[in-house]
Every structure is written in C-alpha cells, then in structure tokens.
Structure 1
C-alpha cells in the first residue's frame, strides 16, 4: 500500500505539550496521528464527543436565556428596528 506525507502547522507550545504527554504514554506524535486517522475511518466520524461544554459557553447560555425571555414576553418576532428602539428607550 502506498503511503503519503501529511503536513500541517501548529503552535510550537502545542506540539511540545503533545509530545510530552505522548512520551508518557509511550507513543510518538506520528503514531498518535496515525491512530487518530485509523479510528476516524473505523468510526466513520470523529471518535469522541464534539459537544461544547456548557460551562465553557456563557455567550450561548445568555442567548438561550434571552430567547426564553423573548418567548415568555411574546417579543420573539421583533424586527431589528424594533429591538433597537427598545434598547434606545431603556437607555434614556
């Protein structure tokens, strides 16, 4: 089977940290990357969760809360002009 070279850029510190972790696990960076690609192919997708941690997403939580409030007060269908007018009124 033919092999191919894959290259990409990353920060030096990320590479060093990764190599240090892999060294403790008895792996090399190329071996780890090959394992990742192999699992990707076996799973036919990312072999781990790609969900955002709710604790890491305060902006998303704020938007969700704003959406719930808008529905509660029946203002979820406001136009941008109506929203800006409300904001202007509050700032007065």
Structure 2
C-alpha cells in the first residue's frame, strides 16, 4: 500500500502542548494523526461530538440538572409543601 505525505500548519504552542499530552499517553503526533484518520474512515464521519454547548449560567445549569434528577426519581411533580415536608422529615 502506497503512503502519502499530509501537511498542515498550526500554532507552535498548539503543537507543543499536543506533543506533551501525547508523550504522557505513549503516542507520537504522527501516530495520533493516523489514528484520527483511521477513526474518521471507520465512523464515516467525525468520531466525536461537534455540537455547541448551550450558554447557561451555573445556576440555570444546576436547576436543569436537578429537574432531570427529580424526573428520574419520579418526584418532579411534588409541590413546594411536599418538598418542605420531606426536608423537615430528613432533618429529624
């Protein structure tokens, strides 16, 4: 199988930081780039998420996470009085 040379430009700091991370993982930069290309071909697309995260404040994120947890435990329809009663009971 014939091989080909692939070149691209990047910032020096990006390259240095990447090499440092890869060294800790026991990989070289060329080996990593070959792995990336192999996975791209295996997946027939980019092998990781490329979505933008919603821009939330930490408070909104915490409320959404708490809401999901409440749904998982089947307590998302509790009233404020029921929640306060549960808290009072737990504090006893």
**TM-score bin, normalised by smaller chain:** 0.5 to 0.7
Match status 1:12 vs 2:12: yes
Deviations 1:14-36 (A, max 9, x none): 00000000000000000000000
Could you tell me the TM-score, scaled by structure 1's length?
0.59
Query: 2: CA distance between counterparts of 1:22 and 1:10?
Result: 16
Query: 1:55 Cα deviation (Å)?
Result: 2.7
Structure 1 stretches (4+) deviating beyond 3 angstroms?
A: none
Mind listing any 5+ residue stretches in structure 2 that lack a counterpart?
A: 57-92
Report the equivalent of 1:59: none
RMSD: 1.2
Report the equivalent of 1:3: 3
Query: 2: CA distance between counterparts of 1:3 and 1:40?
Result: 17
Residues paired across the two proteins, number = 56
Mind listing any 5+ residue stretches in structure 1 that lack a counterpart?
A: 57-92
